[in-house]
Amino acid sequence: MKNKKTFSAKMPKGFDKYIQFSVLALAVFGSVMVISASMTTNTTYVDLFKVGLKQVVYLCIGYIGMVFLAKKFSFDFVKRHIMWIMGLTMFFLLIPLVFPAVGGAKAWIRIPVPGFEVTLQPSEFAKIISILVLATYLGDQKSKVKSIGTLTKIPLFFIIACSAIIVLFQKDVGTAVVLVGINYLVFLLPGHPVLRRWQLGFVAMIFVGLTGIVWIMTPSGIEVLQKLNISGYQIERFQSAVNPFVYKQNGGYQLVNSLVAFVKGKWFGVGLGKSLQKYGYLPAAKTDFILAITVEETGIAGFFVILACYLTLIVRLFAHSIRVLDEKSRMVLAGVALYLLLHFILNVGGVTALIPLTGVPLLLVSQGGSSTMAVMFALGIAQNIIARSRQGAET
pLDDT tens digits, one per residue of 107-159: 999 988 877 778 899 999 999 999 999 999 998 887 777 678 888 999 999 99
What residue type is 354 in one-letter code?
L
Question: Given this model, what pLDDT does residue 388 score?
Answer: 92
pLDDT for the residue numbered 250: 66
Residues 316 and 19: beta-carbon distance below 8 Å:
yes
Please, what's the b/e burial string for 12-41 (b: 16 or more CB within 10 A of its CB; e: otherwise)? Answer: bebbbeebbebbebbbebbbbbbbbbbbee
State the pairing for strand pair 109-113/116-120.
Answer: antiparallel
Which of the residues in the chain have pLDDT under 50? Answer: 1, 395
Phi, psi (rounded to 5 degrees) for 300: -60, -30
φ/ψ of residue 56, rounded to 5: -65, -45
**Of residues 177, 171, 181, the one with CA closest to residue 93:** 171
pTM here?
0.92
Query: From CA 68, how far away is CA 70, in angstroms rounded?
Result: 5
Q: What is the pLDDT of residues 220-262, one digit of tens each?
A: 777 777 666 666 566 666 666 666 766 666 667 788 888 889 9
Give the per-residue pLDDT at 297.
94
Amino acid at 43: T
- The pLDDT assigned to 231 comes to 61
Distance of CA 307 to the CA centre of its chain: 15
pLDDT at 242: 66
Instruction: At 209, give phi and psi (nearest 5°).
Output: -65, -45
Nearest to 78 by CA among 134, 124, 16: 134
Determine the pLDDT at residue 230: 63
- Per DSSP, what are the bridge partners of residue 220? none
Closest to 129 measured CA to CA, from 369, 385, 381, 384: 381
DSSP 310-371: HHHHHHHHHHHHHH-SSHHHHHHHHHHHHHHHHHHHHHHHHHTTSS-------TTTSS-HHH
